[in-house]
Chains A and B, each alone.
Chain A
Amino acid sequence: MIKLEKEVINVKRLIELIVNGMSYEIAVDTHRTLLEVLRDNLGFTGTKNGCDQGECGSCTVLIDGRAVHSCLTLAMDAQGKNIETIEGLSEGEKLHPIQQSFVDHGAIQCGFCTPGMIMSSKGLLDKNPSPTEDEIKRGISGNLCRCTGYVKIVDAIKAVEGR
């Protein structure tokens, strides 16, 4: 029958993760994904756990400036790299221009997809500060939103201040 788990001797390893410019030294199991470590070990629960299979994009974080699924990235693989999560965007009470634009345009409804959506937008806008509508749609094509119908999200990204 289906064999689900194999016996493997597992030892925790000490790794250094750089999240939002802060360095964290933690002991993790080698089979932990970056998403699990961010949420469970470091408490960055802004990054959401949706499908856990790289389909929905709600776990999107930036690693070295590129948007990737943290649920498909091993925590071991992320050591020493520059990880940006949604928590790193605002400065205290002052929202990041992308966050502010999402609020202003009503691009948030239930809010579950928003952290991933904003990280994808940031990855896009950092590389291409004035994208066309098609480029925006392509840029966020890996993020599912079941509430807004995307129109307001695209409007919000188009209107980001300081573009």
Chain B
Amino acid sequence: MSLPKFDYQAPQTLDEAVLLLSKAKKDAKVIAGGTDLVVAMKQRRITPALVVNIKGIKGLEYIKNGKGELRIGALTPLSSIEESELIREKFPALAKAAGAVGAPQHRNAGTIGGNICLNTRCWYYNQSPFFRKCRPVCYKFGSDKDKCQLFPTREGKANVCYSVFSGDTAPALIALGAKIKIKGPEGEKTIPLTELYTGDGKRPIALAPADIVTEVTVPSPPENSSSAYMKYRVREAIDFPLLGVAVSIALDAGSGTCKNASVVLGAVASRPVEVTEAEKILKGKKITEDLIEQVGEAAFKAAKPLANLLECSPQYRKRLAKVFTKRAIKSALEIIKSA
């Protein structure tokens, strides 16, 4: 499969890149690692007129620790995050999630900025032109007149795209309370990572056409805290997640009660799903087997997978959300205990 033709620019500075994108408006795409975009272009899902390669911009590839937060440049390869001693020790969920993305080749090329801006996936969407030509046009690919192929007969209701957000690092980063820095034509802004996701499968990432994610910042974890990430997929490598669970827990040093808890599910909706119940259940209490069971139940209720990833049934993924949440909490608690 060859790529569709496009114009190519490789700006040397961020300002130049933003200018190029804002001039080109809708038809331009940013490329860094290219592991997501190149496949989409080969399958003719995305056919931009202009591709702007931001890999040449200096000073966006770093992992820095200081002032109570960890700063990661958007162009940092996932393999550097996976291998960083600092991240492995202090942010185990992030290291685990970065190491769970695709294959080693994907992690060497793919960047953290690209992984959080990953396009959503669906069995009806991520297909070759030939496959799509044999079927009605899917809503994510087509216009408002086209039906979501998951519910092709549903009449009288507004069209909704149910494609799945399949990034690994985003749930882990949200559980750790990450923020991202975005550079756009109007200047720089910092938003919590969770605001990057619209929840709408057709347009999952809330970035304007000329916006570029430049940095991810994660607050340093307090004493007596830890995090964990668990991913389910059919093969142990290459595959996208069928379920991802990120957990971060902080305990009170003296009493051992839970100070903070956050559970985030990946690959069960068009955005990472925060299980808000989890914090209510655990906060201020000593974590017991019974409470972990309750959090698992809350994760089960929050997970709403559909039959658009075909490797296993949505029922199985929903039930697995409970099991993985419980296991992730236990593994985070174990790390705190052993420290």
Residues of A within 8 A of B (CB): 1-6, 8-10, 13, 29-33, 36, 52-55, 57, 60, 66-69, 71-74, 76-77, 120, 123-124, 138-139, 141-143
A85 to chain B, nearest CB (A): 14
Give the residues in chain B near A10, CB-CB below 8 Å. Answer: 5-7
Give the residues in chain B near A66, CB-CB below 8 Å. Answer: 77, 79, 108-109
B31–A68 contact, CB under 8 A?
Answer: no
Interface string of B195-217 (1 = CB under 8 A from A): 00000000000000000000000
Ranked nearest first, the 3 interchain pairs of A and B with the lowest CB-CB distance are: A142-B103, A141-B237, A30-B8
Q: Which of B12-20, B33-41, B169-177, B304-312 contacts A (4 or more CB under 8 A)?
A: B33-41
Beyond A2-B137, A120-B105, whether A53 also contacts B39 by CB under 8 A is: yes
Give the residues in chain B near A31, CB-CB below 8 Å. Answer: 2-6, 8
* B55 interface hit (Cβ, 8 Å): yes
A8–B55 contact, CB under 8 A?
Answer: no
Give the residues in chain A near B35, CB-CB below 8 Å. Answer: 54, 69, 72
Q: 10 A-B Cβ contacts within 8 A? A: A31-B5, A32-B2, A33-B2, A54-B35, A54-B103, A54-B105, A60-B105, A77-B31, A77-B34, A123-B108
A76–B7 contact, CB under 8 A?
Answer: no
Give the residues in chain B near A36, CB-CB below 8 Å. Answer: 2
Q: Once the chains are docked, how many angstroms separate the CA of A30 from the CA of B194?
A: 35
B6–A8 contact, CB under 8 A?
Answer: yes
* Number of inter-chain CB pairs below 8 Å: 122
* Residues of B within 8 A of A (CB-CB), count: 39
Give the residues in chain A near B44, CB-CB below 8 Å. Answer: 2, 4-5
* B319 interface hit (Cβ, 8 Å): no
Q: Once the chains are docked, how many angstroms separate the CA of A141 from the CA of B141?
A: 32
B38–A142 contact, CB under 8 A?
Answer: no
Residues of B within 8 A of A (CB): 1-8, 10, 31, 34-35, 38-39, 42-44, 47, 49, 51, 53, 55, 77, 79, 102-106, 108-109, 129, 132-133, 137, 141, 236-238
Give the residues in chain A near B137, CB-CB below 8 Å. Answer: 1-2
Beyond A6-B5, A29-B5, A31-B5, whether A142 also contacts B102 by CB under 8 A is: yes
A139–B3 contact, CB under 8 A?
Answer: no
B133–A57 contact, CB under 8 A?
Answer: no
Q: Once the chains are docked, how many angstroms separate the CA of A8 from the CA of B6?
A: 6
B189 to chain A, nearest CB (A): 28
B38–A74 contact, CB under 8 A?
Answer: yes
B109–A68 contact, CB under 8 A?
Answer: yes
A54–B129 contact, CB under 8 A?
Answer: no
Which of A1, A2, A6, A72 lies in contact with B38, CB distance below 8 A?
A72
B2–A68 contact, CB under 8 A?
Answer: no
